[in-house]
Amino acid sequence: MSAPEGWTLMDYAARAGVDSEDFMSHVGPVYWRLDEGGMPQLGFEVLPHMCNPMGICHGGMLMTVLDTGLAVVLHAALKETRFTPSMSFNFDFLAPGKLGEWLQTSGQCVRKTKRTGFVNGLLSNADGPVMSASGIFKITDTAIPGGFIIK
């Protein structure tokens, strides 16, 4: 399986103008797109290097992708890409992400203030949610050019 039609390889470092690999390039490949409503999503095929010995996607991989996916949802709500480090996260594991499956994020910004964003979302496979999460992000003054936002 490769990425479904409409998904583009995520190269966040290059989009941000950084000439080096970032963390996501080491754990991926991870892809992105805008959904039907124009909201950014991340997705990936569960590959062997992402799995535990039982062929189940490692929880750290699931959390990494959903954390990043919800950050780009916040960027869309802000209508600009700022450095938004995670301050707090709650993750609930709902089902296994199995080797070979396609998993993708969805989310919504439920509140934003000048310095804080609150975002909820899911990481799902074809059968439904694999993980749910709620996150709180710090909104900094540092702009990141070339991010994944709605124009």
Q: Which CATH number fits domain 8-138: 3.10.129.10, 3.40.30.10, 3.40.50.970, 1.10.3720.10?
A: 3.10.129.10
E strand intervals along 81-146? 86-93, 102-112, 116-125, 128-138
- Per-residue model confidence (pLDDT) at position 18: 57
- Per-residue model confidence (pLDDT) at position 130: 98
Chain centroid, CA 75 distance in Å: 12
- Per-residue model confidence (pLDDT) at position 17: 59
Domain residue ranges in the chain: 8-138
90, β-bridge pairs: 134
Token output for 6: 């409409």
- Per-residue model confidence (pLDDT) at position 20: 58
Q: Which residues of the chain have pLDDT under 50?
A: 150-151
The alpha carbon dihedral of 137, 35, 106, 3 has a sign of: negative
Residue 48 phi/psi, 5-degree rounding, is: -55, -40
Residue 119 phi/psi, 5-degree rounding, is: -135, 140
- Per-residue model confidence (pLDDT) at position 145: 72
- Per-residue model confidence (pLDDT) at position 31: 94
